[in-house]
A = this chain, B = another copy of it.
Amino acid sequence: MSIAVIYGSTRENGNTEWLTELAINDLPVEKIYLREYNILPIKDERHTKAGFQEVTDQYNIIIDKVLKHDILIFATPIYWYSMSGTMKLFIDRWSQTLRDKDRPAFREELAKKSAYVIAVGGDKPTIKALPMIQQFQYICDFFNMAFESYIIGKASKPGEIPNDSKAIAAAREMNASLKNKLKLN
């Protein structure tokens, strides 16, 4: 078993990454920084005659990386009470992959995976990020993918997250739980 961490942040070494590091400490992960890829907004062509048209960006590189792993950690800063636009662009494109002849088992493959969310925001995130958590649940439900757990951290300026003892305790517990799941304990 292995883990893909999908980073939605646009900032390097930000609070979300710091918190995520605690959760993935000593674990076999592939880190995917969405900001390093060009991802275009989906064009909804589901119902056109020709269907979705090939898009010339780097989305497929990412989705192929993601699909190699068993556990997906979505690590996103909270922008305007939701995942970052960058991460939303990535997830929106799943609608296209669902109809991609080159990846016919996309839905079934996701159904076998487990999802985790780690999110950090500045404005009362343990309350105001709950709608985002519910949305991740709905996304997982769609694919019948297990949404195992989530951590919401509080920080806005760089370097603030180490003050959130609650999030740190949760990240350490997630780390232990992941090690257990990967039989590394």
- Interface residues, chain A, CB within 8 Å of chain B? 9-11, 14, 35, 41-45, 47, 77, 79-86, 88-89, 91-92, 94-95, 123, 126-128, 130-135, 137-139, 142, 147, 149-150, 157-158, 165-166, 169-170, 172-174, 176-177
Contact = CB atoms under 8 A, between A and B. Distances in A.
Given A82-B82, A126-B149, A150-B126, A89 B131 contact: no
Contact of A166 (B91, B139, B149): B149
Contacts of A88: 79-80, 82-83, 85, 88-89
Contacts of A157: 47
A147 B169 contact: no
A143 to B, nearest CB: 11
B166 A173 contact: yes
- A-side interface mostly: helix
A169 B22 CA distance: 15
A49 B139 CA distance: 38
Contacts of A86: 41
B135 A77 contact: no
Contacts of A35: 41
Contacts of A158: 47
Given A82-B135, A123-B142, 20 more contacts: A11-B43, A41-B86, A42-B84, A44-B77, A47-B157, A80-B135, A80-B139, A81-B134, A81-B138, A81-B139, A82-B88, A85-B91, A130-B131, A131-B132, A131-B138, A165-B173, A165-B177, A166-B174, A169-B170, A169-B173
